[in-house]
């Protein structure tokens, strides 16, 4: 199965953690349609960790029950999900959306629920029977086998299930994941540790992947974690929150670097600003660009970066990212990406965020960028007169 664009959707973890149930998931699916997110391209509704019956141990830590049924199958928590996962999948599918779930390559998930090690083929079959379209597969309690073997095993189990299921590997970048993950058949791979709802968190994640973008390709996307836009310091990974421009900066980075866009906030109660950010058409267009070219680093000056990104329609996106604490003139000399100084090529630039500024530039363009902020311009190249 070929996944040609970074998947877009919503995941329960960032806001809800363990606090999930079927009403929440149904209301989220409803909100995805009613808010316009579905029309903007978001389609996956993903339940993360903590959805199943837990195993039990005695006071010495000896396992009494696995949480699995008599056939070895995972069981949805009957209190959180009384109608069961098949009914929930049907509900989501009826809305024209897709259904995602979560497991892990160890015997337990990160939150201590039963996971798929040694049950891969049984679990893949269960997911297929429930109508799952997307599986996030974590890396906690990993046994003494190379990750590439464990991820390959689950990938083959999903294929054997008879259902097309997007396989979303999540090993946080361990074992140089970018160097082998494509060979396992996975469709995306988490390359970083967990995000939290703060500027420092998304900044460090983004910068850590600048030199790994050449591994991000259609078929197997570099997943730099779920979005925190719109969390405002509330929820499972809340750490103070971000300002509104910082949330837009975060979204712009995820779009420019063509990460999957998995919303992490409560989409039933989004502010206008959150909606505007998550549905920014020009940024989503860059995120979904079919060529998925890694950005060309033009200049790095301190904590300011400029990048040129080729787009499928023959145009370019020029991105200026200011991670410093001051307003900066972020430099970009066109010579640095190959234009001749003497032939004086010119670029028409227009600001994709404000959509109002058209400029003709020869030689370069230094964008003025607020601290913790960005500018992205769409460019056409033509010979200067
Ligand atoms: C890991 C993952 C997170 C989330 C949690 C669930 O930390 O990286 O994205 O899935 O597990 O326990």
Mark whether 194 is an active-site residue.
yes
Query: Are 104 and 133 spatial neighbours (Cβ–Cβ below 8 Å)?
Result: no
Mean pLDDT computed over 13-24: 98
C-alpha 110 to ligand 1 mean position (Å): 6
Among left, alpha and beta (phi > 0; psi -120 to 50; other), residue 77 is beta
Inform me whether the pLDDT recorded for 126 exceeds 60. Answer: yes
CA dihedral 71, 101, 199, 250 (to 10 degrees): 160
Confidence tier at 356 by pLDDT (50, 70, 90): low
Q: How far, in Å, CA of 261 to CA of 77, rounded?
A: 28
Mean pLDDT of all residues in the chain?
Answer: 95
Above 70 in pLDDT, residue 93?
A: yes
Residue 123 a catalytic site member: no
CA-closest residue to ligand 1 atom 4: 13
Query: Residue 351 and residue 317: Cα distance in Å, rounded?
Result: 10
Other beta carbons within 10 Å of 137: 26
Our answer on whether the CB atom of 10 is closer than 6 Å to any ligand 1 atom is no
Q: Hey, which of 19, 171, 194, 223 would you mutate to test ligand 1's pocket, going by the most ligand atoms within 8 Å of its Cβ?
A: 194
Average pLDDT of the segment spanning 50-60:
95
pTM for this predicted structure:
0.96
Any ligand 1 atom below 6 A from CB of 224: no
Segment 126-140 mean pLDDT: 98
Backbone angles phi, psi at 220, to 5 degrees: -155, 95
Provide the strand spans (E) within 178-336: 188-190, 221-223, 261-263, 296-301, 304-310, 316-322, 328-330
Q: Are 287 and 6 in contact (CB under 8 A)?
A: yes
- pLDDT, residue 250, reads 98
- Is the confidence at residue 255, as pLDDT, over 70? yes
* 267-319 pLDDT per residue, tens: 999 999 999 999 999 999 999 999 999 999 999 999 999 999 999 999 999 99
Q: Strands across the sheet with 358-362, in order?
A: 296-301, 304-310, 316-322, 373-383, 345-351, 358-362
Q: Determine the pLDDT at residue 383.
A: 65
Higher pLDDT, 359 or 224: 224
Q: What is the pLDDT of residue 282?
A: 93
For residue 8, the model assigns a pLDDT of 99
Quick check: CB of 105 below 6 Å from ligand 1? no
pLDDT score for 353: 64
Q: Is the pLDDT of residue 354 over 70?
A: no
What ranges do the domains of the chain cover? 8-287, 296-383
Does residue 355 surpass a pLDDT of 80?
Answer: no
Closest ligand 1 atom to residue 170 Cα is 8
Q: For domain 8-287, which architecture applies?
A: Alpha-Beta Barrel (3.20)
The predicted pLDDT at position 211 comes to 95
The pLDDT confidence band at residue 384, using thresholds 50, 70 and 90, is low
Of 30, 77, 90, 194, which residue is the catalytic one? 194
Kindly report the CATH number that applies to the domain delimited by 296-383. 2.60.40.1180
Q: Is the pLDDT of residue 219 over 70?
A: yes
- Closest residue to atom 5 of ligand 1, CA basis: 110
Mean pLDDT along residues 49-74? 95
For residue 381, the model assigns a pLDDT of 81
- pLDDT value of residue 359: 76
Residue 322 makes CB contacts below 8 A (sequence gap 6+) with 303, 304, 328, 330, 369, 370, 371, 372, 373, 374
């Amino acid at each position: 199965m070929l996944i040609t664009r970074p998947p877009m959707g919503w995941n329960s973890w960032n806001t809800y953690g363990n606090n999930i149930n079927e009403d929440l998931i149904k209301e989220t699916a409803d909100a995805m349609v009613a808010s316009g997110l579905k029309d903007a391209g978001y389609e996956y509704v993903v339940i993360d960790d903590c959805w199943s019956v837990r195993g039990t141990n005695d006071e010495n830590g000896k396992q009494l029950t696995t949480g699995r049924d008599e056939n070895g199958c995972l069981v949805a928590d009957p209190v959180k999900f009384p109608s069961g996962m098949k009914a929930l999948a049907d509900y989501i599918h009826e809305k024209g959306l897709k259904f995602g779930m979560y497991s892990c390559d160890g015997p337990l998930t990160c939150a201590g629920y039963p996971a798929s090690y040694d049950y891969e083929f049984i679990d893949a079959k269960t997911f297929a029977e429930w109508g799952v379209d997307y599986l996030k597969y974590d890396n906690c309690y990993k046994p003494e086998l190379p990750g590439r073997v464990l991820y390959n095993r689950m990938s083959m189990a999903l294929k054997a299930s008879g259902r097309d299921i997007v396989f979303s590997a999540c090993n946080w970048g361990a074992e140089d994941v970018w160097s082998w993950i494509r060979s396992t058949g996975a469709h995306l791979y988490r390359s970083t540790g967990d995000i939290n709802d703060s500027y420092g968190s998304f900044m460090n994640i983004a910068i850590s992947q600048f030199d790994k973008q050449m591994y991000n390709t259609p078929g197997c996307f570099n997943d730099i974690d779920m979005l925190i836009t719109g969390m405002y310091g509330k929820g499972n990974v809340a750490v103070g929150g971000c300002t509104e421009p910082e949330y837009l900066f975060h979204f712009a980075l995820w779009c420019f670097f063509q990460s999957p866009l998995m919303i992490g906030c409560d989409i039933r109660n989004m502010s206008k600003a959150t909606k505007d950010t998550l549905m920014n058409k020009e940024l989503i267009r860059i995120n979904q660009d079919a060529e998925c070219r890694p950005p060309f680093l033009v200049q790095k000056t301190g904590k300011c970066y400029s990048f040129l990104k080729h787009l499928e329609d023959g145009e370019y996106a020029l991105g200026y990212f200011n991670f410093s604490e001051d307003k900066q003139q972020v430099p970009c000399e066109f010579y640095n990406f190959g234009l001749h100084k003497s032939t004086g090529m010119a670029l028409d630039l227009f600001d994709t965020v404000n959509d109002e500024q058209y400029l003709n530039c020869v030689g370069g363009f230094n964008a003025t960028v607020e601290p913790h902020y960005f500018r992205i311009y769409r460019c056409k190249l033509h010979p200067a007169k």
